[in-house]
Each structure stands twice: as structure tokens, then as C-alpha cells.
Amino acid sequence: MSKSLSVIKIGGNVVDSPEALESFLDDFVALTKDRILVHGGGVMASQTLRQMGIEPRMVDGRRITDAETLKVAVSVYAGWLNKTIVAKLQARGCNAIGISGADGGVIEADIRPKKPIDYGFVGDVRSVDVKFLEMLLEQGLTPVICAVTHDGKGTLLNTNADTVASSVAKAMAAVRQVSLVFCFEKNGVLADPEDADSVIPRIDRACFEKMKASGAVSAGMIPKLDNAFAAINAGVHRVIIKNAANLGKTVGTVIKNE
């Protein structure tokens, strides 16, 4: 196997906290292996929508995206947040390049079927251009990818950032030994959502299904875990869910294949 690669995803609650973001980026640039950063920004997108008088709609942690919501998502994810992160990485000596899925045609997606739920302009990833990402990495660039994809026909699509990270990790696993890290504001997957210290150190598929059935995991954690298992099953070497403040530490919840 060729060189190792870390695909690291940060969520909106980290991106929207100046102190948490600064600390995370310090740890991110300290990583010695090649890395790709994938970010969401749902918190800011929801705040912007509410300021416009539009109430955000979510189903199982995934955003219903009508035409106006899509405009906000693209503006927030691919605009302000993406370029802010890139600028902060540049200030730390990390030569980052911010891209959406449309840039270089790197991530194409199909609009999600309208049934059983019409999510609107939401994309399910069809393909990731590994050669394009390898070209950037070989030039010493660090890709910073936002959660906006395209359908190859001129339409931008909102795609869950966990899905983008998982899809990139799965694709890159064909040429690299890939670690996928989901970073957010909690210490890992919690047995008790009210207890920050109740981290489950390892989760396999059977455990996950039991937790879903009992309601122990819900909302945004469901797509995160779905994508984690999809990555492991597709050959990603290691998947871990952890607090963004612990990026450089061996803590969190490790996802196991069985």
C-alpha cells in the first residue's frame, strides 16, 4: 500500500466556534501524514435561514433542501466557511486549497429519489475523482472540501458532510491507506447523551442496530455512523469518531467491521 492519508471531517458546531476552530486547526496542521479536510456548516446555514424567515427542516439528521435553502447552503459552505478555513490554514503555513464537489468535477452526485421523502436538492455521491485529489496532494496542497456536490448537468446539490467525507475516504482507499476521522463537539458516541464521559470505545454493526432500535442514537449521529460503517466495509483502514479537541489523541469511538 502506498502512503497513508487522513480524511478528517469537522462539523458545524466546531466550525462556528472561533476558539474550537482555532484549536482544531493547530492540531490539524501538526499532523505529519497527508490529509484532506471535509467540513460541514449546518449550524451557520440554519442560523442564516432563520434570519431570512425560513425554518430549517431536518429528517434523521439530513437537511430538506429547497431552492432557497440550496442558495444559503452553497453560500455558507462553499463561500464564507470554506474560505475562512483556507485562510486560517494558510496563516499556519499549510498550503490549503478550498473546493466544492463541482470544482474540478471532483465529486458528482445524483439527486436523491423523491420517495419516501422528498429531500429536494440533496445529492447522493456517485463518484469521486481520485486522480484529481492525488494531483493536489502531490503538489503539496491540502484539499479543504465543503459539502456541496454537483450532478454533472449544471445543478449544485447539498450533500451530507459525513457522506462526503466517507465517500472521499472510500475512493482514496484504492490508492492509499486511509484513516477517516469524524470530529465534532462530543467525545465520541455516547451511551448516555447527557453524560459526556460515557464514550463507547468500540461499536460494531450489531451494536449500532441495537442502539438505533432503542433510540440510543438518533438525529445527526445516524448518518455519521452509517457513513462510518460504509467506509470500513469499503476498505478504509480505520474510522474513529471523536471530539475535535482530541484530534491528536488516541481517544474516541472506533468503528469495527464486526
Give percent of the chain above pLDDT 70.
Answer: 98
Residue 158: the pLDDT is 97
Which residues, given as ranges, of the chain have pLDDT below 70? 1-2, 258
Residue 239: the pLDDT is 95
pTM, two decimal places = 0.93
Domain residue extents for the chain? 4-255
Neighbouring residues of 106: CB distance < 8 A, sequence distance ≥ 6: 99, 128, 129, 132, 133, 145
**Residues 4-255, CATH architecture:** 3-Layer(aba) Sandwich (3.40)
CA distances from 232 to 137, 139, 226, 238, 239 (A): 23, 28, 10, 7, 7
Q: How far apart are CA 228 and CA 216, in angstroms?
A: 17
Going by C-alpha positions, the residue among 156, 71, 178 that lies closest to residue 107 is 156
Omega before 116 cis (within 30°)? yes
Residue 258: the pLDDT is 61
